[in-house]
Amino acid sequence: MRNKRFMPNLLLAALLILFLTGNAFAAQEMLKTSKVKVGEKAPLTEMLKKTNEEKKIIVLVILSNPMQCNHCDELMSLLEKEAEPYKNDAAFITAGGQDMIGSIDQETLELKRLYGFVTMGDAWTFIVDRQGILKKIYMGLYTREELEAALNEIIGRKE
């Protein structure tokens, strides 16, 4: 009798530990991006379709709401610096989060729905190639080197 209750209790304790440490939240966020997958056609709103028709790479950054966005200022600073060298090849598009109005405008809401985005926590970056294929997803902050490597690979530039 005692052994029959041990396994369910152990499982419950493990789940509780995961939930309390925040790992469950990260896992939940990852599951919500199941709407989009690397290597598949990315969902494009009217604004993104126009950029894609111009044969530019799309670097789409979706920010969470302004009060709960981790490292968003650092990420925006990085993107401002990195956009200039890629201006002929890529369009850097930011949606939501800069202020409360921006986080609830119609385009942002549609993007969050299409990409399965979670509204709290980290910003998400989706890199879409010229053919409209999703090439990379970043959750949260990343380095200049990671961004440059991803863009250079899509463009075909040698580093």
Q: What is the pLDDT of residues 25-69, one digit of tens each?
A: 444 444 445 578 899 999 999 989 999 999 999 999 988 766 677
For residues 75-102, give the mean pLDDT.
83
Residues 139 and 125: their CA atoms lie apart, in Å, by 7
The model's pTM is: 0.74
The larger pLDDT score, comparing residue 18 to residue 89, is at 89
Q: Report the relative pairing of strands 90-95 and 134-139 from DSSP bridges.
A: unpaired
- Sequence-ordered list of residues with C-beta below 8 angstroms from that of 61, at least 6 positions apart, any chain: 75, 76, 79, 92, 93, 94, 95, 123, 124, 125
Residue whose C-alpha is closest to residue 41's, from 128, 145, 103, 99: 128
pLDDT of residue 28: 46
pLDDT of residue 27: 47
The larger pLDDT score, comparing residue 96 to residue 60, is at 60
On the CB side of 96, CA atoms within 13 Å amount to 29
